[in-house]
Structure 1
Amino acid sequence: MTDIFGTERMRATVLAAWTASPARFREDANAEEDFALGGYRDRLIVELAQNAADAALRAGVPGRLRLTLRDGVLTAANTGAPLDATGVEGLSTLRVSGKRDESGSIGRFGVGFAAVVSVCDEPMVASRATGAVRWSRAETAAIVAGEPALAAELGARGGHVPLLRLPFEVEPVAIPDGFDTVVRLPLRDAAVERAVRRMLDETGPALPLAMPALAHIEIEAGDETRTVTADGWRVVEESGVFGPEQVAELFADRPTEERARPGWLVRWAVPAEHGELPKDVAPVVHAPTPSDEPLDLPALLIATFPLATDRRHVASGPLTDFLVERAAETYLRLLASLPKTPRLLDLVPGLMGKAELDAAIRRAILRRLPDTPLLPAISPPADADAGEGTHGAAESEAPYVVAGREASVVAGPAEFLAKIAHVVPGLLPAGWASRHPALTTLGVRRVELSDVIDLLSGEAVEDATPAWWRSLYEVMPADDREALGAVPVPLADGRLVRGPRGTLMLTESSSLDSSLLGPLGLRIVHPEAAHPLLLRLGAAEATPRSVLEDPLTRATVSESVDSADPEPVAQAVLALVDAAGLSAGEAPWLSALALRGADGELYPAGELLLGEGSLAKLIDPGVPFGVAAPDLVERYGPRVLSAAGVLDGFAVVNDDDVLLDPDECDHDLDAEDEWLDAILDLLPDADVPPVAREFTAIRDLEYVADWPSALALLSRPPLRAALQPLRALVNGEIVEVPSYTAWWLSRHEVLDGRRPTSLRLPSGDPLLYGLYGDAPTGVDETALALMGVRTTLADLLASHGGPDELLDLLADPSLEVDRAQLRSLWMALAAVEPSRVAPPTAVRAVLNGEIVVADADDGHPVGGNGGPVPEGLAAAGGPVVAEAPDLLPLVASRPLVLAPFDLAEALSELLDLPVIGEEVTGEITSSGVERPVPAQVRSLVPSAPSSYVEHAELTVDGVVVPWRFHEGMVHASGVEGLARGLAWASGQWSDRLAVAALLRDPQAVPLLLAEADLDG
């Protein structure tokens, strides 16, 4: 067998060196062991692939590698240049690569084959064209053991020798068809076989991507066969050669042989369907084979980074810094080459790296990203040439690629984005408006919908047609109503306003002529821009009622009298009133509408009368009203004109939630402020002004001349509702007070020239007879009562000011009151709370048997009962209230207020008058004899006292009186006095006449008792 590789010479040379210096033997053994167990411990497949790639590159053929694991043996068959003596020498040495001068080769350190030492003790390499070579740990150990110079060192190492320093020639072996070289590795044990199986499973496309010369890797392990290629990956790379100056600068800290290969390469690769890296591609930097430097990006980086001596980490220094910058530039080229879809954002690195190199690469990329054109805009950036046209060109996607700083995103459908592209520079298509953090990293501006609405009010839309605006509304995202509330709206008069609220939109059901509405100054949406979205955002459908209720219509109506040409306004408003079917009083503000009168002058509608209307027949001809022009009446009819405020009948003011406050309540009604003061006096005090939920009043009452006819109208529906009490909310409770209309009528002579409050219903309370006149018949009594016509004494006294009114009437000597009526009135007044009454200056009383009106201070009569004071009638003092009958003789010459005795104290307080007992001492000034009360009296009056004091002549305060009940004892003279005293003392005053009869005729007791039994 011919030694074509010179293995014998190589062995002799190595042995000579070892024996000459056993330390050299030890150094070689330690170095091989360090590489096998350290930097290359799990790089077996990578190193086999690397040698295959270099062989293919050297031969200029497509690289192909087949890895087969079977029966505990791993074989690696590859195409390319065969093994030669230089190659064997490279494999049998450490740190001496035979590929030093080969451009493009992956192997460069001369230590990669040491990876086989970790799995095998008998490796072999054979080439079809040249032969085979093998290495053997056992044979090497035997040779070393035969060298005495090495015996001590071999013993110190426990027999462990370098495996790859002594090559052995071997007979040619069979090479698989289609391959040129095979590496055969009998695996050391089962554990090693499992490790190799794992390495085969982890072999992925990173190898052919790092070694482009290696086109295919076939893997056969057990029953599984698969092929690994670089297909389906998008690759971008940059490379170059350093000049002498760059080499001196960048390689100053690198070994000598690295300087001999001054080329550099950066290659990035991502799966064509870029997303996460496949599981069989380690997320590490490849330099160009895998390192231990993590790279937390969904892309594969292959670069000629300088490695540290452990061959697993990138060495820091100027060369690494240079390659980091090139890696960033190349990465941006990769991103620029990818399809412009939102998936591109997944390739934008985050801020935090997993290690120093990863962080450096990220920083270099992130510095460049915001200014690198990567994103597909459907509109140009602000400083780009937008081309011709605005709206039409912007609505189709243009081929703009913009940098992140120039880009904007807006949330919304594609159709909407196409519409707004010309107002949002650098606008990205739909799908890019996600909350992806990469958009912030890229510097993309997020434009909110409210900002877009602001932009739509600028110069970019000045020439937009109403139809264009409608097409915009059609595609707008309608879920953010707050933002859309300011969307521009084109009007029929050519204006563009902000926001649909306050605009009116004509619809198919509106049946309105926009040209007719022009004089009203309304904000009518242009018919070609009308869209349902505007209604949802606050626009009102332009119905006759909504147009009338529009604030601009109201303003135009209120200003129409001062307008130079109010006729078009009047025509528009009257047509709307007709179409809306309004009734009189439904829109009281229309009374300000300027209309022509029959005299050709302009009047507010509320100051015009229908010539044949009912109100025209009721009012004084001299009042300041005009008469509607006959042609207006003929054209629009009485119904429309009265609905517009022209007075046919009484005008009705209707209002809601009226604040009953002098500064707020103003309906231009006669004496409205006086009415408000009056009802506020009736209402309880409150921290906030009362509120009337509903307010209804009749206008122009002050101009009525024919009150009988007017009252006939006011007392019937619907006007009668204005007479109903006003319901005011005070302190959370409802309180009723007189309505304005009822109050006004009550204060004016509207009933046969008299105020309603001076009259009573013909069917009213008899106790009021003589004090009030009878109201005229023919008017509804309920309506009369609401106007203030008096009904019953109880209602009068319960009303505000009613007790004072009754006392004033009783103090009027021109009015006649009979004695029984007067007694009933005093009884009713005694029940009134004194705080509600002002003490009268004159009272109706009884003086010497005559009913008179007497001065409250001195009792001087100021009038008789319905006339002058009877002749010779004079009072000896002021009026008093009688509280006991035995004292009446003491004040016989003073006016007496007479009522049941138990009401005396109440009347005294109410009228601020003394009772008799406060004016006289009541002292008994005569003497008498105590006598027993006849037994017959006690049978009739069981509670009568048992005795009394009989006086021949009883005097009290010097006045002769028939009886006196004093300190629990009856004093009397005569039968009549005794009878009254006993009846009063026993509390049976009404039986006084019966007691007197009994005292005169004791035999009459049975008959009197029988009569008493008949009492009710």
Structure 2
Amino acid sequence: MFDTARLRDTVLAAWTASPARFREDANAEEDFALGGYRDRLVVELAQNAADAALRAGVPGRLRLTLADGVLLAANVGAPLDQTGVEGLCTLRVSGKKDEAGAAGRFGVGFAAVVSVTDTPSIASRLPSGEVHGVRWSREETAALVAARPELAAELEGREGHVPLLRLPFSDDSPEAPEGFDTLVRLPLRDEAAEQAVRRMLEEAGPALPLSMPALEAVEIEVDGRTRTISAEGWHVVAESGTFGPEQVAELFADRPTEERARPYWEVRWAVPGDRRGDVRGVVHRVVHAPTPSDEPLDLPALLIASFPMTTDRRHVAPGPLTDFLVARAAETYVRLLGELPATPDLLDLVPGLMGKGALDAAIRREIVKALPDTPLLPTISEGVVPGNQARAVEGQAAFLEKIAGIVPGLLPAGWSSRNPALTTLGVRRADLADVVDMLSGEAVEDKDPAWWRSLYEVLPADDPEAIGAIAVPLADGRLVRGPRGTLVLSQESGTFDPALLAPLGLRIVHPDAAHPLLLRLGAAEATPRTVLEDPLTHAAVSESLNSTDPEPVAQAVLALVDAAGLTAGEAPWLAELALRGADGELYAAGELLLAEGSLAGLIDPEVPFGVAAPDLVEKFGPHVLAAAGVLDGFAVVNDSDVLLDPTECDHDLDLEDEWLEAVLDLLPGLLNTDLDVPPVVREFTAVRDLEYVADWPSALALLSRPPLRAALRPLRVLAAGETVEVPSYTAWWLSRHQVLGGRRPTELRLPAGDPLLFGLYGEAPAGIDADALKMIGVRSTLTELLDSHGGPEELLDLLADSSLEVDRAQLRSLWIALAAVDPARVSPPEAVRVVLKGTVTVADVEDGPVVVEAPDLLALVEDRPLVLAPFDLAEALSEVLDLPLAGEVVTGAVTSAGTEKPVPPEVRSLLPGAPATYVEHDELLVDGRPVPWRFFEGAVHATGVDGLARGLAWASGQWGDRLAVAALLRDPARVPLLLAEADLDPTASI
């Protein structure tokens, strides 16, 4: 039996001697029961069970049973002894101070029962088989205290509340269940206490056995339902040690005396074996020391460590001991990571820097500091390495396996390079472009073409830009960066002997490495046409004339031209290809003729053209040589989007620069405008080598028929947002050369052309299509001539040629047409076709020709060269020719005196608009010269019948009736007959 009476008497004596001690014990118990240990009943019961098992050296087992308002806690292990009873009846004095590994170390844990019961009891089975027990009773304790007058005042002040656990009583009928050594019986105070116990039992989890290793299992039975809690399936890593005297002095300087008597430390981490990476929902996310504290810990693992606690047992006390344990906790956590399987789940256990509290953050910092140098990460080909030696690349497993030997420290598939934990581990991320850079140089020198094809097979293709520089093995053994510019042999091109294409220096992908991915990344399928269009083929052709042995290049190119089915003019650049002539000399293809070709008979024999070697013609045929630039018929240049700029427009055509200048002259204003883009010819076609033709009749017969006729058609030019037609190069060149019977086309007219052009232009030869003649400059109508660029000036130049005959009626019609021309289009002529004293002739401008605008001025300028046209066109014609009007060179003033007379009424019947009077002169003088009439300052001046008739007809605006008026004035009786004749005249104005 326990000696409970002595303990009671001792405590009661102490209280009686010092009532303040009673109050102090009551307050302390209440603080622990309602404060630091208010929700730790289950934890404290488990802790006592663990310590009992530890002392007995047996696997700990605890059964918690809630039934009928009573909580029973049965455990195995060392039974409760007198020392233990004394420890339970004191505060802050533990009987386990010398027990290494004991969970209880403060001597206050059992106070947690006070929060739920007023009558706790403990019974233990001794090794002899006897069962001893101890109990506590708030009611009995209160009675004993009340019997002491010295404590009455204190008891009254506490409203009857007394310390429950300070006065033990013997249990007369203790019971211990079979299979267990100790039983704690807690009759629950009320419904609230029972609900609190139910909650604590429901929340109990693996943290109990994990934080108390001596406790192997915890059985919880509530209302007949039982569950068992154990640490099975958890991965636990622990470190522990003992402090030496110097460490105790240094680390425990700020800790209580009894803590210094326990110079042990322990750190333990645990993670669920079946769900590494997260302990949420399994244990409370707090630090266990070893019982749960209020220190938050957001790391994805359970931490149990012997941290020093503050007096409320809720928080870790700061200080050197805590700092020491923080470092040990970090080391142990890193060890934990190293012991776990190296799978991507491990990344879930890598902490970030942000913690939920100061302690959490401190532990994290130490862990993060150590991780990059810790071998944790598996690589595909190098085993487990530290994070700072590892690389992460996104991609499928097949791709990563393929590049593992090239990218050092490469993590397997599943280790996402986007996971921020990799940064914490010090892993270098390599994006796809970085990997592509690594796949070059010495690292891949030993890789055969088949290996490269297998790489293309697994290379991620969803980011073409990132993999655009992937290395490509060529058929000639080179390894080049990027598929762009390489050629992948197709079935069609595969018929070529590689040795035949070798002289072209092409970047042909090795057949064993060929893969469709290369085509998607910019490689071209090596058809005959794509091989021909390859820049390297172009370069080989352009340099072939300078080569010491151009024959292999020629053979390769001609074979490609044949296979591609090219036609003459389709690839004009081939004209630079060096080919052998019949004389054995080398020529550019464009300088060779086919001996049997149509052009050979048209060319001047003195022109330095060669003739293609017969063996080349026999081997490849004339059509292949013609397609390669050898001249069969006329060579045609085809181009598109040609900029009309001297630096851009160069097709090696005769006088092309002059044609360009002439075209730009047709685009008014553009040469003086700052254009972002020069004028552009959408489709450019031209016939070359025209300057070497000797047989023009035969040449024009070819040029005027399809397909060469297309080169004569005007070109459409896009300039300043407008489309303008301009003469083609071919038409322009022909118009400037003597290609029609020794004359230029612009000197000739169509045989059926405008009669007004007769005498001015020669007649074009028959037998050539009229439209073709018009396109090369042969004139057809006066209107088309004047509408053409430079046409008005051309006509004026012809009129100034005295060797050409022009009759007076033709001249009048030409002046009428010229009067309608915009003066801005015409440069003033130096000589003009005029009428001088009735004769058509040519006069220099210096001879003073004038344009006559009124018939009454003719007499004043009859000695001058006259430009005569209908008077209503005189002013316009004066501006076109930049010649003065007659009225601008004479004064025209009437200088003689006359007599005003009425106009005969018969005349007014013929001329309703005639003035009422006129001035009759015996001799009419104008500017001192005798003239027959003058309309001056609104009055008609005249001498004689003819002068009067002209003056009145002009003044009334009926100049065409002047002869009729003269007849009327001579014989007034004839007025009825004249009026009748006028009625019959369709041109009469009356």
Q: Equivalences for 1:421-500 in 2 at 5 Å?
A: 421-500=404-483
Identify the residue that residue 749 of structure 1 maps to in structure 2.
738
Question: Given residue 24 of structure 1, which amino acid in structure 2 is its aligned partner?
Answer: R
Cα distance in 1, alignment partners of residues 224 and 733 from structure 2: 112
Cα distance in 2, alignment partners of residues 596 and 124 from structure 1: 122
Aligned match of 1:517 in 501, 524, 540? 501
Identify the residue that residue 191 of structure 2 maps to in structure 1.
190
Cα distance in 1, alignment partners of residues 152 and 825 from structure 2: 139
Q: Given the alignment of the two structures, is residue 651 of structure 1 paired with residue 635 of structure 2, yes or no?
A: yes
Q: Given the alignment of the two structures, is residue 542 of structure 1 paired with residue 526 of structure 2, yes or no?
A: yes
Cα distance in 1, alignment partners of residues 963 and 914 from structure 2: 14
Question: Given residue 615 of structure 1, which amino acid in structure 2 is its aligned partner?
Answer: L
Distance verdict in 2 for CA 1:662–1:114, change over 3 Å:
same
* Aligned-partner SS, 2:804: coil
Cα distance in 2, alignment partners of residues 913 and 17 from structure 1: 147
The offset of 1:242, in angstroms, is 2.9
Identify the residue that residue 108 of structure 1 maps to in structure 2.
105
Distance verdict in 2 for CA 1:974–1:229, change over 3 Å:
same
CA contact (8 A) 1:379 1:424 kept: no
Distance verdict in 2 for CA 1:109–1:939, change over 3 Å:
same
Cα distance in 1, alignment partners of residues 854 and 152 from structure 2: 158
Question: Given residue 114 of structure 2, which amino acid in structure 1 is its aligned partner?
Answer: V
Cα distance in 2, alignment partners of residues 969 and 140 from structure 1: 157
The offset of 1:955, in angstroms, is 4.0
Distance verdict in 2 for CA 1:73–1:892, change over 3 Å:
same
Cα distance in 2, alignment partners of residues 240 and 920 from structure 1: 136
* Aligned-partner SS, 1:603: strand
Superimposed CA distance per residue, residues 780-805 of structure 1 (whole angstroms, 9 cap, x where no aligned partner): 11111111111111221222222221
CA contact (8 A) 1:126 1:172 kept: no
Cα distance in 2, alignment partners of residues 910 and 300 from structure 1: 107
Aligned match of 2:608 in 611, 620, 624? 624
CA contact (8 A) 2:278 2:349 kept: no
The offset of 1:515, in angstroms, is 3.0
Superimposed CA distance per residue, residues 384-429 of structure 1 (whole angstroms, 9 cap, x where no aligned partner): xxxxxxxxxxxxxxxx111111111111111111122222211111
Cα distance in 1, alignment partners of residues 537 and 557 from structure 2: 8
Cα distance in 1, alignment partners of residues 985 and 391 from structure 2: 108
Superimposed CA distance per residue, residues 207-246 of structure 1 (whole angstroms, 9 cap, x where no aligned partner): 0111122222122223643222112211111122333443
Distance verdict in 2 for CA 1:890–1:203, change over 3 Å:
same
Aligned match of 2:754 in 762, 765, 774? 765
Cα distance in 2, alignment partners of residues 469 and 637 from structure 1: 41
Cα distance in 2, alignment partners of residues 85 and 742 from structure 1: 130
* Aligned-partner SS, 1:616: coil
Q: Given the alignment of the two structures, is residue 881 of structure 1 paired with residue 851 of structure 2, yes or no?
A: yes
Runs of 4+ in 1 over 6 A off after TM superposition: none
CA contact (8 A) 1:202 1:280 kept: no
Identify the residue that residue 42 of structure 2 maps to in structure 1.
45
Which piece of structure 1 moves more, 440-449 or 604-613?
440-449
Identify the residue that residue 53 of structure 2 maps to in structure 1.
56
* Aligned-partner SS, 1:481: coil
Which piece of structure 1 moves more, 629-638 or 991-1000?
991-1000
Distance verdict in 2 for CA 1:910–1:100, change over 3 Å:
closer
The offset of 1:842, in angstroms, is 2.0
CA contact (8 A) 1:506 1:512 kept: no
Q: Given the alignment of the two structures, is residue 725 of structure 1 paired with residue 722 of structure 2, yes or no?
A: no
CA contact (8 A) 1:724 1:738 kept: yes
The offset of 1:953, in angstroms, is 4.2
Question: Given residue 358 of structure 2, which amino acid in structure 1 is its aligned partner?
Answer: E
Cα distance in 2, alignment partners of residues 957 and 552 from structure 1: 87
Identify the residue that residue 767 of structure 2 maps to in structure 1.
778
CA contact (8 A) 2:65 2:73 kept: yes
Q: Given the alignment of the two structures, is residue 610 of structure 1 paired with residue 597 of structure 2, yes or no?
A: no
Identify the residue that residue 288 of structure 1 maps to in structure 2.
290
Question: Given residue 661 of structure 1, which amino acid in structure 2 is its aligned partner?
Answer: D
The offset of 1:66, in angstroms, is 1.7
Q: Equivalences for 1:381-396 in 2 at 5 Å?
A: none
Question: Given residue 918 of structure 2, which amino acid in structure 1 is its aligned partner?
Answer: Y
Identify the residue that residue 69 of structure 1 maps to in structure 2.
66
Superimposed CA distance per residue, residues 524-567 of structure 1 (whole angstroms, 9 cap, x where no aligned partner): 11111111111111111111111111111101100001111111
Identify the residue that residue 337 of structure 2 maps to in structure 1.
335
Q: Given the alignment of the two structures, is residue 700 of structure 1 paired with residue 689 of structure 2, yes or no?
A: yes
* Aligned-partner SS, 1:852: strand
Cα distance in 2, alignment partners of residues 118 and 838 from structure 1: 122
Per the normalisation by structure 2, the TM-score is: 0.95
Coordinate RMSD, CA, aligned:
1.9
CA contact (8 A) 1:203 1:280 kept: no
Q: Given the alignment of the two structures, is residue 213 of structure 1 paired with residue 183 of structure 2, yes or no?
A: no
Identify the residue that residue 724 of structure 2 maps to in structure 1.
735
Distance verdict in 2 for CA 1:760–1:179, change over 3 Å:
same
Question: Given residue 170 of structure 1, which amino acid in structure 2 is its aligned partner?
Answer: D
Cα distance in 1, alignment partners of residues 124 and 479 from structure 2: 86
Unaligned regions of 5+ residues in structure 2, if any?
Answer: none
CA contact (8 A) 1:512 1:543 kept: no
CA contact (8 A) 2:277 2:347 kept: no
Question: Given residue 771 of structure 2, which amino acid in structure 1 is its aligned partner?
Answer: T
Question: Given residue 326 of structure 2, which amino acid in structure 1 is its aligned partner?
Answer: V
The offset of 1:138, in angstroms, is 0.9
* Aligned-partner SS, 1:235: strand
Question: Given residue 40 of structure 1, which amino acid in structure 2 is its aligned partner?
Answer: Y
The offset of 1:620, in angstroms, is 0.3
Unaligned regions of 5+ residues in structure 1, if any?
Answer: 381-399, 859-877
Distance verdict in 2 for CA 1:747–1:133, change over 3 Å:
same
Q: Given the alignment of the two structures, is residue 160 of structure 1 paired with residue 144 of structure 2, yes or no?
A: no
Distance verdict in 2 for CA 1:10–1:920, change over 3 Å:
closer
Identify the residue that residue 578 of structure 2 maps to in structure 1.
594
Q: Given the alignment of the two structures, is residue 78 of structure 1 paired with residue 63 of structure 2, yes or no?
A: no
CA contact (8 A) 1:591 1:646 kept: yes
Question: Given residue 164 of structure 1, which amino acid in structure 2 is its aligned partner?
Answer: L
Q: Given the alignment of the two structures, is residue 687 of structure 1 paired with residue 703 of structure 2, yes or no?
A: no
Which piece of structure 1 moves more, 943-952 or 193-202?
943-952
Cα distance in 2, alignment partners of residues 250 and 716 from structure 1: 111
Superimposed CA distance per residue, residues 279-324 of structure 1 (whole angstroms, 9 cap, x where no aligned partner): 2511111111111221111100111222222222222333222222
Cα distance in 2, alignment partners of residues 731 and 299 from structure 1: 75
Distance verdict in 2 for CA 1:332–1:952, change over 3 Å:
same
The offset of 1:952, in angstroms, is 4.1
The offset of 1:509, in angstroms, is 4.5
CA contact (8 A) 2:417 2:429 kept: no
Identify the residue that residue 17 of structure 1 maps to in structure 2.
14
Cα distance in 2, alignment partners of residues 119 and 678 from structure 1: 113
Cα distance in 2, alignment partners of residues 949 and 110 from structure 1: 155
Question: Given residue 240 of structure 1, which amino acid in structure 2 is its aligned partner?
Answer: G
Cα distance in 2, alignment partners of residues 926 and 933 from structure 1: 20
Question: Given residue 191 of structure 1, which amino acid in structure 2 is its aligned partner?
Answer: A
* Aligned-partner SS, 1:497: strand
Q: Given the alignment of the two structures, is residue 530 of structure 1 paired with residue 532 of structure 2, yes or no?
A: no
Distance verdict in 2 for CA 1:1015–1:39, change over 3 Å:
same
Cα distance in 2, alignment partners of residues 36 and 848 from structure 1: 147
Which piece of structure 1 moves more, 144-153 or 402-411?
144-153
The offset of 1:738, in angstroms, is 1.7
Question: Given residue 883 of structure 1, which amino acid in structure 2 is its aligned partner?
Answer: E
CA contact (8 A) 1:811 1:842 kept: yes
Question: Given residue 327 of structure 1, which amino acid in structure 2 is its aligned partner?
Answer: A
Which piece of structure 1 moves more, 30-39 or 589-598?
30-39
Q: Given the alignment of the two structures, is residue 99 of structure 1 paired with residue 99 of structure 2, yes or no?
A: no
* Aligned-partner SS, 1:36: helix
* Aligned-partner SS, 2:36: coil
Tell me the percent identity: 77
Q: Equivalences for 1:25-36 in 2 at 5 Å?
A: 25-36=22-33
Cα distance in 2, alignment partners of residues 147 and 955 from structure 1: 171
Question: Given residue 793 of structure 1, which amino acid in structure 2 is its aligned partner?
Answer: L
Cα distance in 2, alignment partners of residues 155 and 213 from structure 1: 45
CA contact (8 A) 2:753 2:779 kept: yes
Cα distance in 2, alignment partners of residues 152 and 934 from structure 1: 164
Which piece of structure 1 moves more, 601-610 or 275-284?
275-284
Distance verdict in 2 for CA 1:952–1:145, change over 3 Å:
closer
Which piece of structure 1 moves more, 481-490 or 813-822?
481-490
Q: Given the alignment of the two structures, is residue 572 of structure 1 paired with residue 556 of structure 2, yes or no?
A: yes
Cα distance in 2, alignment partners of residues 147 and 525 from structure 1: 109
Cα distance in 2, alignment partners of residues 969 and 29 from structure 1: 148
Cα distance in 2, alignment partners of residues 214 and 726 from structure 1: 101
